[in-house]
Amino acid sequence: MKIKFWGVRGSIPSPGPNTVKYGGNTTCIEIRTDDNQLIILDGGTGIFALSQTLLKEMPVSANVFITHTHWDHIHGLPFFIPIFIPGNTLKLHGAFDPISGRGIEQVMAVQLQYSYFPVREAEMKASIEYETLMPGQSVQVGDTTVTPTLLNHPVINFGYRIDCNGKSVFFTGDHEPHYNIYGPDDESFNEYQMLIDDKEKTILAAMNGVDVLIADSSYTTEEYPAKKGWGHGTFDSTIAMGKKAGAKMVYCTHHEPTRSDADLELEFGKVLARYPRKAGDPDYRLAREGEEIEI
């Protein structure tokens, strides 16, 4: 199984001289299974560059799994070039939206409104299929199984585990570790703590023993108090999660858009100094646009 990062920034694209090394495109990850099935995690702006490479291997059949429907994870989808070409197939998977009462099909319907995009969905030449998933509902893509798990974000967000012939990857999308909204002296504290403990156990079980964990690490611990409740993790929370899950390799991603390459490495270095790697710990890395790994 091969993994390639096409977008590793969060919130808004941030191209420029200060983000050349790690990249300025928003979230998109390509996974090639052992039988060369194409799985794409999220459709941020990184999906445009990916789509250009696919033109040499048409017809294209792409399974795109959307973690959630915030703009930075979907706004590259209308620019996925194969959907303009007959004979190609885009299969879009994702969560039901309790606010709109619609399934994952709304991702394209909303973006392709004539007020916002010049080409309507009916004019797309490729076949576009939709599958709205529920937590724990696995999807088979060739010899690979993709399983969604509900994570913690201000909109429904699925983390995805991808299992292929004994190898595994888990991508969180956007995730903030659960915290108790009540004070220790509040009568609701213990009951709520039991609820979030169960949720955290479910999440850790879903990513247990993965070869590669790719996780939202937007903030530093110093930045987090001002961003609490926004639905994002920290470098520290990602390292803790990777250890608890027994992951072999951990990639920190969803880099804060105002953080330069130099600042990103500086903050990451501080975190590594706080958590010296011990035997059995994961290998910690910063996700970098263009990097490809094979497991």
State yes or no: pLDDT of 121 exceeds 90.
no
Tokens of 38: 């194409």
Antiparallel, parallel or unpaired: β 212-216 and 167-171: parallel
State yes or no: pLDDT of 281 exceeds 90.
yes
In the block, residue with structure tokens 């995730």: 175
- For residue 99, what are the CA distances in angstroms to 63, 120, 172, 204? 25, 24, 22, 27
AA letter at 194: M
Residues 6+ apart with CB under 8 A from 38: 30, 31, 32, 54, 60, 61, 62, 63
Q: 178 — alpha (psi -120 to 50), left (phi > 0) or beta?
A: beta
Rg (Cα) of the chain, in Å, rounded?
19
| Tens of pLDDT, residues 188-245 | 999 999 999 999 999 999 999 999 999 999 999 999 999 999 999 999 999 999 999 9
- Which pLDDT score is estimated for 39? 98
What is the reported pTM? 0.96
- Which pLDDT score is estimated for 125? 94
Q: Per-residue confidence at 277, pLDDT binned at 50, 70, 90?
A: confident
Tokens of 1: 């199984």
Percent of the residues in the chain that have a pLDDT greater than 70, as a whole number: 100
- Average pLDDT (277-293) is 95
Concatenate the DSSP letters of all residues of 187-198 into one string. TTHHHHHHHHHH
- Which pLDDT score is estimated for 61? 96
- Average pLDDT (162-169) is 97
State yes or no: pLDDT of 47 exceeds 90.
yes
Q: Give the closest residue to 111 by CA, choosing from 71, 83, 80.
A: 71
| Ordered domains of the chain (ranges, CATH) | 2-294 (3.60.15.10)
Q: Give the closest residue to 33 by CA, choosing from 9, 65, 7, 11.
A: 65
- Which pLDDT score is estimated for 114? 87
